Amino acid sequence: MAKRTRYYQGNIDLDLISSGKPYNDLRKTYIIFICTFDFFNDGRHIYTFENICRENQKISLGDETTKIFLNTAGTRDDISSDMRDFLTYIENTSEEFAFKSQNRLLTDIQKKVDAIKSSKETEVEYMTLLERDRENRELGSILTLNIIKLYNKGMDRNQIAKELHIDIEIVDKIINNYEEM
């Protein structure tokens, strides 16, 4: 997930300015992940990262990028009651909880969720995404079978990657999983 935030930051920055434009055109950005598990295993509900100097943590890089990880499984008393309600709602996505909490944000979110669920357009889009995911899983299975087939024929990992036009890391991962079975 840490590398994913880096990837997202790069994409955001590329979208914000075109080649040759001044870097000052970059705006302040926040990347927020909402997790149902504690990625950092420190019991916090919120982890906020900004670029700071290792040698002197009082010095900030000042690039105006912030990455925030919200964690529904936090155990510390480190957030407001509104944030706790929000994370509880995310964990359970309960219409009953949203309306009982009397938290305006949660009721607004729940109303939007209800509207999206009842939208035929959204249903078609969702079904299209499900179909795409199914097709991608099928393609992944076919690729896995081809890698294993070539590996069992004696082809080395680099040759397989070159033959199938894929990264060696993918080949290594699939073969390593195969050998562990």
Block mean pLDDT (10 aa), the chain, length 181: 88 82 87 93 95 94 94 94 89 76 83 83 83 86 92 93 90 89 78
Report field, pTM of the whole predicted structure over 0.85: no
Contact 82, 101 (CB under 8 A): no
Q: Which two tokens stand for residue 89?
A: 């709602």
Identify the pLDDT of residue 47.
97
In whole angstroms, what is the distance from residue 38 CA to residue 45 CA?
Answer: 8
Residues in contact with 168: Cβ distance below 8 Å, sequence separation at least 6, in sequence order: 157, 158, 161
Instruction: List pLDDT tens digits, range 23-37.
Output: 888 889 999 999 999
